[in-house]
């Protein structure tokens, strides 16, 4: 029986959510289970299913605190994997970035997990969700986390290559090969591919791009550094010479003024010798005739006021009730005598606070780490 016939005969209600919401699904390197994906995507239209997903996430977070086994990292990995499957779009409301950050912060001082590949992968996935991933790689380098694995050098070099820092990426891959990071075959293969990509790039070096501080041209011919400077200086000299020529040949515009011709009538005007002509300005008394009023004392005049009866008791005005959305309303903080772990803090955050904290971690992924642990 083919899969389509099997699905139609099962009479299941889900199965087409993938076709409706596939643009909102974040791809995973390991792939996804279609049944779990359809079940998770159905939460877009089913509020009850969405509440059950949030409840399952809360129980997984509680399981992290209640774990008493020999491998405390494993419940964190189970929670991360489930959140990736249950919240396919990822996004800020999934809380995945917070779980990444609290997981790596819980074990960064443990010598047991510094060379654990599972722990390193959590760091690398956390770096993919942050805007300043170079800080994370520098932190791993300063604290000797995951430096025995080739995955660290490959991910670090790919990030530097994406930032057009080819020399730094080349040095990182060479350092991994000289350190004999395992598996070394994978690292050497990544280095060969890097050399092939670097050969196909323009000849402009990293230092030249920094000095010029100009965007790379994606069309036409790429000008060399000396040629572009000569062209810019030549254009500047031509503009300066043209400006000097304009200043030399520029003459002031003279306006003709005929004082003896009446322009409106077209004949010579005669000087007006009437009695109204101002030959003298007159005396001080004649010039100040508008200001004859003498200033008087203003306090001698009173404005009549209408008597107003006094109110014995102050009447309280009606208060305006301000509407507060339930999602935006701040819940009172409950102070517990016990020290709360980071996972308990995540459990108490609502959707709005999770989004705000996620945005802060994207910009500064090491904001909750002690200052003495950060790379200098």
DSSP letter string over 65-105?
Answer: HH--SS-THHHHHHHHHHHHHH-TT--STT-HHHHHHHHHH
Element housing 267 (H / E): strand 267-268
More confidently predicted of 122 and 268:
122
pLDDT over 90 percentage in the chain: 35
Query: Where does the pLDDT of residue 277 fall: very low under 50, low under 70, confident under 90, or very high at 90 and above?
Result: low
Name the residue with higher pLDDT: 331 or 15.
15
Q: 129-138, 196-205, 289-298: which has the minimum mean pLDDT?
A: 289-298
Sign of CA dihedral 69, 71, 73, 75: negative
Higher pLDDT, 324 or 19: 324
Rounded to an integer, the average pLDDT of 168-197 is 95
Task: Report, as an integer, the average pLDDT of 171-179.
Answer: 96
Is the pLDDT at 222 greater than 60, yes or no?
no
**CB atoms closer than 10 angstroms to residue 65:** 13
Q: Are 156 and 128 in contact (CB under 8 A)?
A: no
CA atoms within 13 Å, Cβ hemisphere of 320: 1
34 vs 159, higher pLDDT: 159
313 pLDDT higher than 80:
no
Greater confidence, 120 or 94?
A: 120
pLDDT for the residue 167:
94
Q: Which two structure tokens, joined as six digits, stand for 170?
A: 């080349």
- What is the pLDDT averaged over residues 232-245? 66
Distance CA 168, CA 152 (A): 14
Arithmetic mean of pLDDT, 177-181: 95
Q: Is 182 helix (H, G, I), strand (E, B) or coil?
A: strand
More confident residue, 181 or 289: 181
Cα distance from N-terminal residue to C-terminal residue, the chain:
63
8 Å CB contact between 84 and 104: no
Contact 224, 188 (CB under 8 A): no
- Cβ-in-10-Å burial (0-12, 13-18, 19+) of 346 comes to buried
pLDDT at position 336, please?
A: 39
Query: How much is the pLDDT for 217?
Result: 47
Cβ pair 25, 37 in contact under 8 A: yes
Q: Is the pLDDT of residue 208 over 50?
A: no
Whether residue 327 has pLDDT greater than 70: no
> Does the pLDDT at position 130 exceed 90?
yes
Overall average pLDDT of the 326-330 stretch = 55
Q: Which two tokens stand for residue 61?
A: 């977070």
Of 117-131, 146-160, 287-301, 329-343, the one with minimum mean pLDDT is: 329-343
pLDDT for 239 beyond 90 = no
Q: What is the pLDDT of residue 150?
A: 96
Q: Which of 125-129, 299-303, 333-337 has the lowest mean pLDDT?
A: 333-337
CB atoms within 10 A of CB 363: 10
Instruction: Supply the pTM of this predicted model.
Output: 0.60
Q: Which carries the bigger pLDDT value, residue 204 or residue 116?
A: 116
**pLDDT reported for residue 185:** 96
Q: Give the pLDDT mean for 48-76.
A: 90
pLDDT band at 38 (very low <50, low <70, confident <90, very high): confident
pLDDT at residue 326 greater than cutoff 90: no
- In this prediction, residues 128-136 reach a mean pLDDT of 92
Q: What would the 3-class secondary structure string for 333-344 be? A: CCCCCCCCCHHH
Structure tokens given for 93: 């409301």
Contact 175, 135 (CB under 8 A): no
Q: Which residue has the tokens 């509440």?
A: 51
- How sure is the predictor about 311, in pLDDT bands with cuts at 50, 70 and 90? low
The more confidently predicted of residues 263 and 114 is 114
pLDDT for res 341: 46
User: Smallest Cα–Cα separation from 62: which of 365, 340, 358?
Assistant: 340
Give the CA count within 13 Å in the CB-facing half-sphere of 326. Answer: 0
């Amino acid at each position: 029986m083919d899969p389509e016939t099997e699905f139609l005969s099962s009479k299941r209600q889900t199965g087409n959510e993938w076709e409706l919401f596939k643009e909102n699904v974040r791809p995973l390197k390991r792939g996804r289970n279609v049944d779990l994906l359809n079940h998770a995507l159905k939460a877009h239209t089913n509020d009850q299913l969405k509440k059950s997903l949030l409840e399952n996430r809360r129980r997984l977070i509680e399981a992290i605190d209640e774990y008493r086994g020999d491998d405390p990292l494993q419940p964190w990995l189970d929670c991360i994997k489930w959140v990736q499957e249950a919240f396919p779009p990822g996004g800020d409301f999934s809380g995945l970035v917070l779980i990444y950050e609290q997981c790596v912060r819980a074990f960064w001082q443990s010598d047991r997990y510094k060379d654990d590949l599972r722990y390193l992968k959590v760091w690398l996935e956390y770096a993919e969700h942050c805007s300043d991933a170079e800080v994370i790689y520098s932190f791993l380098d300063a604290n000797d986390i995951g430096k025995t694995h080739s995955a660290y050098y490959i991910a670090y070099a790919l990030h530097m290559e994406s930032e057009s820092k080819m020399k730094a990426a080349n040095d990182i891959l060479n350092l991994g090969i000289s350190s004999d990071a395992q598996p070394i075959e994978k690292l050497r293969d990544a280095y060969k591919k890097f050399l092939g990509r670097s050969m196909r790039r323009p000849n402009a070096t990293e230092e030249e791009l920094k000095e010029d501080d100009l965007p790379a041209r994606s069309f036409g011919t790429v000008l060399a550094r000396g040629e572009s400077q000569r062209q810019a200086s030549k254009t500047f000299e031509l503009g300066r010479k043209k400006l000097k020529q304009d200043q030399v040949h520029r003459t002031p515009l003279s306006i003709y003024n005929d004082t003896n011709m009446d322009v409106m009538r077209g004949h010579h005007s005669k000087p007006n010798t009437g009695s109204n002509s101002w030959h003298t300005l007159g005396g001080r008394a004649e010039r100040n005739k508008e200001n004859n009023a003498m200033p008087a004392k203003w306090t001698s005049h009173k404005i009549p006021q209408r008597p107003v009866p006094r109110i014995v008791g102050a009447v309280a005005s009606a208060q305006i009730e301000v509407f507060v959305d339930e999602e935006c309303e701040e819940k009172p903080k409950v102070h517990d005598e016990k020290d709360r772990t980071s996972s308990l803090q995540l459990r108490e955050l609502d959707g709005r606070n999770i989004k705000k904290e996620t945005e802060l971690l994207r910009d500064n992924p090491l904001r909750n780490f002690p200052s003495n642990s950060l790379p200098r």
